[in-house]
Amino acid sequence: FEGINDVKRKIFNYANFISTEWTANNWLSIRPGYRLALSDKFDTQHNYSLTMRAKITENDNIRLVIGSANRFPNFDELYTYMVDSNHNIQGNQDLVPEEGMTFSLNADKKINTNSGWNFKAGASATYLNLKNRIELSLINQSPLQYKYINIDSFKSYLFEGNFKAQKSSFSL
């Protein structure tokens, strides 16, 4: 059902990732990575990452991840147009890609007991620093109106902990 006033939009994004792993010795491995991201609307982006894993013991690992955190705006963020009596949500064709860096530190420990119980605990901390973060924001209180915009600077800290206990097919 094509009409004379139909709006046709398209965007082409393509990305490819490559990495390799080098085992420096029996307790340290290093994995660099590179992602090439292409778009028909934005300049080419290059994302880099470096992961280092230290195997402290057979059951203890520490992992450090450092990388760039760039991304293109997606189709919805650019072209959404949902305006009716109850909604006013609009994309923004003037958005620019996000640029940033992320750092993450992770640790995990496994404990196997003679009684058949196996335990696994982990903790992680992540820091994300972005320029031009893309967010759906309230731009008008009355009438209610939302639009995707770039936020100049965004920082995030995430801390996580996890625990698992397992015996045979039972686990928590």
pLDDT in tens, 101-112: 999 999 999 999
Rounded CA-CA distance 116/112 in Å is: 7
Rounded CA-CA distance 46/131 in Å is: 15
List, as one string, the DSSP characters of 83-104. Answer: ESSS-EEE--TT---BEEEEEE
SS3 state at 76: helix
Predicted confidence at residue 5, as pLDDT, reads: 60
On whether the pTM is more than 0.95, the answer is no
Predicted confidence at residue 1, as pLDDT, reads: 46
SS3 state at 13: strand
SS3 state at 78: helix
Kindly report, residue by residue over 116-160, the tens digit of the pLDDT: 999 999 999 999 999 999 999 999 988 889 999 999 999 999 999
